[in-house]
Amino acid sequence: MKKTKSGKMLRGICLLTILLMMGSTLPPQSTVYATTLNLTIQTTKHLYDLGEEITIHGNVTMDDSPFDKGLVAIQIKDPRNNTLFVGTFATGENATDLVDIYFDVFPCDKLGNQKLILKQGEMLRLNATIINNEITSRHILLVASIQFSNNLPFQTFVLYNDTINAGQRWSCNYPLGYIPDDAPLGTARIFGSILSGLPERNGFALCLGKINTFNIESATLSATNLKINSISEPGTFNFSLITSQNGGILGNYTVYASCFYPPWLSTKQITFEVKLFKDINEDGIINMLDLYVVASHYGETPESPNWDPRTDIDKNNIVNMIDLYLVAVDYGKWGQLP
C-alpha cells in the first residue's frame, strides 16, 4: 500500500514538473488572452432596385463571443458623397454610455416645447441639448438623422461639432427646413447620436443612441401605423432604409460602421448599388419608351436574331405580356444618375 502511495506521489510530482515546464514555455499571458473586438457588417444583397428596402445588419464579438455591450455607429453616404444617415445602435441590453454626457434631440415649436405632430409642408425645428457631466472637456459631434415612416431617410444634420467643456450645457432651437408636401404620413423617427467623429473618419459612438418619434399628418388624414425595428439577438444590430422611387440617387452607396469599446476600435466599410431595374433604355425613368422597347421585341426568344436580354424582365427566355406588365407596374419611377 505504502509503495503504491509513494508511487502515485512520484507520478504526481513528475506530472506537476511537466506542467510547470510546459507553463514556462507558454507565451506571455497578454498574448494568450488577447481580447479582440470584431465588428462585421453586411447588406442582404449587393444590388437593389430603386425603392426596394435595404437592410444593413451585422454583429460585434469580443473574443469570438457575441458582445452585448457594443455601440455601433453607422454612416451611410449616397453616390454623390452626401451623408444620408447617421445612427447609433446598441448590440444588447448591456450597452451603456462610454462617457457621462447627456443629450436629447426632438422636434419643437418656437419656444422649444416638444412637438409630437407635424403637418406636411410645416417647418421642422429641432430642440437639441447636450450636458457634459465629465470632469474633462471633449470634442464631440451631435448628429440627428430623420427617417420617414416608410424607412426613407429624410435628412441628416450635424447640430454640434465642437469641444464641450466639463460641466458645460449647450442647447439650440433651430429651424432646419420644411417637411416635404409629399412626405410619407405616419411615425417618423429622429436618430440622435453623440460621436467622437463621423464613422467615415474612424469616429465612433460615445453614448447610446436616442430615438424620438413624431407623427407626420396631412390636413385631412391622421397618422398611420408605427414601425419599430425588431429587437435583435444580443451582439447584433440591424437597420433598414429605402431609396425614393421619385428621384432617388442611382449608383453606389457606402456604409461606414465603427464600434469602440475601450481600448479597442473596430471599423468596417461596405458598399451596395441601387439601380432602376426596368429602365431598359437607361435614361433614369420608366415610361412609354421602355414599354416600347419591350413591345418591339414581343414574342422573341434567345434564338431570335434581335434578342435583347434586357427586355426579358422575368428571365424566362421569352418576351411576352408578363414582361410588359412588369415594366408597366413601375411606370413613372425615376432615379437620378450619380
Q: Which residues contact 186 (CB under 8 A, 6 or more apart)?
A: 148, 149, 150, 215, 216, 223, 224, 225, 226, 227
* Binding residue (CB under 5 A) for Ca ion from 53, 109, 181, 314: 314
Overall residue count recorded for the chain in this entry: 338
In a 10 Å sphere around its CB, with 0-12 CB exposed, 13-18 middle and 19+ buried, how is residue 50 labelled?
A: buried
| Whole-angstrom Cα Rg for the chain | 28
CB of 243 to Ca ion, least distance (A): 17
296 binds Ca ion (CB under 5 A): no
Tell me whether residue 100 or residue 283 sits nearer to Ca ion (CB atom).
283
CA distance 152 to 76: 13
312 contacts Ca ion (rule: CB under 5 A): yes
Q: Is 316 in the site for Ca ion (CB under 5 A)?
A: yes
Contact between 109 and Ca ion (CB under 5 A)? no
Q: How far apart are CA 241 and CA 263, in angstroms?
A: 31
Residues within window 8-37 making contact with Ca ion, judged by CB under 5 A: none
Q: Of 181 and 283, which CB lies nearer to Ca ion in the complex structure?
A: 283
Site for Ca ion in 272-291 (CB under 5 A): 279, 281, 283, 290
The residue whose grid cell reads 422636434 is 107
182 contacts Ca ion (rule: CB under 5 A):
no
C-alpha 315/C-alpha 198 separation (Å) is: 42
Residues that bind Ca ion (rule: CB under 5 A) add up to a total of 8
Closest distance of CB 289 from Ca ion, Å: 5
Identify which of residues 197 and 284 has a Cβ nearer to Ca ion in the complex.
284
Burial class (CB in 10 A: 0-12, 13-18, 19+), 2: exposed
142 touches 158 (CB < 8 A): yes
The residues in 204-233 that bind Ca ion, with binding defined as CB under 5 A, are: none
Q: Is 301 in the site for Ca ion (CB under 5 A)?
A: no
Q: Considering the complex, state which of residue 28 and residue 305 has its C-beta at the smaller distance from Ca ion.
A: 305
Q: Contact positions toward Ca ion, by CB under 5 A?
A: 279, 281, 283, 290, 312, 314, 316, 323
